[in-house]
Structure formats: C-alpha cells, structure tokens
Amino acid sequence: MKTDASMSVANMIVGLSMLTAAVFYSELAAAQTANDLVGTWQHVANVNISADGKRTDTFGANPAGMAIFSSDGHFMVINLRREIPKFASNSRAQGTPEENKAVVQGSIALYGTYSVADKVITMKIDDSTFPNWRGTKQTRDIVSFNRDEITWRLSASIGGQAEVTWKRIK
C-alpha cells in the first residue's frame, strides 16, 4: 500500500517530467517565425547523405562559415572548407584550373530573403556563387532547433540530401 508521502513524490516526479517535456517541445517548436532565427550563426557541420545512405562531410570535418538572418527578413549564408589551398600566384584572377576547382567545390555563398512557417525556412535566393540558384526559391526543413543551435535539411546542389548545423554566435 502506498503512503501519502510516496504518492506525493510520485506526483512531483510526474509533474517535473511533464514540465521538462513541455520545455523540450517548446524549444523544438520555437522556430515558427522568422524572428526566431534573427542573429548570427556559425557553421558547425554540413553532411551530405547520398541515395545509398553514405554520409560525407561536404566542407570537411571542421567547416567554416556564417549565416546571418536579419529582423527585416534578409539572410546571407557562406559555407567554406578550411583546407582550400592558397593560390600560388597570390591573385584570384590567375588561379590554376585546379585552384579554381578547389574553391568552387569547397565553398558556397548565397543571399536573399527568408520566411519561416511550419518548421520550414523558405529562402528566395537573390544571388549565389552557384549561379543555378540565382532567382530560385528553396526550402530548408528544420530537423531540430533551440535558441542556440539549428539543423536543417535540403536537397544538396551536389546530389543527395544535406543536413546543415549552425550554432548561434553570442
């Protein structure tokens, strides 16, 4: 037979569990408006998932980059592979075919406007270093979100799916 004290402890545990779950789910559901993304984010990971399930770090194990989401609905994103070699000529205009290829395959930048609804970020891309994205509208499905970290998924420009993770810069 349970005592009043053990029932009170059990009720407290259930109550704390419900409160914890409510906080957890409110964090996941937080990215419901564009204002939830406002700020500057550091690129943490960009994993390409091919059709056969193979996972590859698109920009290396320690990528660089930044995403900025403004309160007026504009964004800028840049992703970089830290290991891009320097140009031997020390001139962007005089890169070798190999140097230029390393830059194209090791970086991407884009900017435009964005909105958020139903855990989806919609980006209208004004321009990009990948010209095929210029003038397109794309979506990023929010996989996880809290005030300090976001992961989204999209169709990758290299094929397959990409999962991209960002940490908020404070």
Give the Å distances, CA to CA, from 76 to 8, 30, 116, 118, 158.
52, 21, 15, 22, 20
Q: Please give the residue range of the domain that contains residue 18.
A: 1-30
What pTM, to 2 d.p., does this model score?
0.78
State the CATH number of the domain containing residue 143: 2.40.128.280
Task: Kindly state the tokens that stand for 72.
Answer: 């007026």
Torsion sign (Cα): 21, 22, 25, 26: negative
User: Which pair of structure tokens corresponds to residue 168?
Assistant: 């908020």
pLDDT digits (tens, 9 = 90+) for 96-110: 999 999 999 999 999
Statement to judge: residues 113 and 75 lie in one domain: yes
Answer whether residue 5 shows pLDDT above 50.
yes
pLDDT tens per residue, range 21-69 = 444 444 444 457 888 999 999 999 999 999 999 999 999 999 999 999 9
Nearest to 38 by CA among 153, 155, 150, 163: 150
Q: Are 10 and 58 contained in the same domain?
A: no
Say what the pLDDT of residue 120 is. Answer: 95
Average pLDDT over residues 139-143: 96
Pair (96, 13) in one structural domain: no
Q: Which amino acid is at 6?
A: S
How many domains does the structure of the chain reveal?
2
